[in-house]
Amino acid sequence: MLSKKTKYGLKALTYLARQEGNTPVQVGEIAVNENIPQKFLESILLTLRKSGCLGSKKGKHGGYYLIKKPSDIIMADVMRVLEGPIALVPCVSLNFYEKCDDCPDEITCSVHKLMIQVRDSTLNVFRNNTLADVCKTSKDENFIK
């Protein structure tokens, strides 16, 4: 299950991507429009900024803004920042690998093999979607099913 953190983070990113210029948008504005608790959103945007997904400006008229074009923001990267590993098991994770302590042998582990398939198929989706893709709704003209 997706955490609220991730869900809120994704919504905030799409909100920013839909902005006209690149002027900073305040947390409060995003929070109100996307129904997200403001203080919680604050901490989420902070981690997104620290990981290089977002830029920020402090003080009056400050806020957050995208530092890359939406079409250059790969969802796999965003998901890893917000949700952590994409794999369902650490032993098949590309970026967060860990050995299972209860598994004598990965090669013969049947769970392992199944989970690699799931990882690859999920990764395929997240790698082939940019923030720009995600922003297109089914209402948009150029939306291709």
Rounded Cα gap, residues 45 and 62, in angstroms: 13
Among 18, 20, 21, 59, the residue binding DNA under the rule CB under 7 A is 59
Q: Does 135 bind a copy of itself (CB under 8 A)?
A: yes
4-17 and 38-50 helices cross at what angle (nearest 10)? 80
Q: How far is the CB of 14 from a copy of itself (least distance, A)?
A: 5
Nearest residue (CB) to a copy of itself, 63 versus 89? 89
**Of 52 and 62, which has the nearer Cβ to DNA?**
62
Binding of DNA by 21 (CB under 7 A):
no
- With respect to DNA, which residue has the nearer C-beta, 23 or 124? 23
Rounded CA gap, 145 and 138, in Å? 8
For residues 20 and 54, the answer to whether their CB atoms sit within 8 Å is no
Q: Is 62 in the site for DNA (CB under 7 A)?
A: yes
Among 39, 139, 141, 142, binds a copy of itself (CB under 8 A): 139
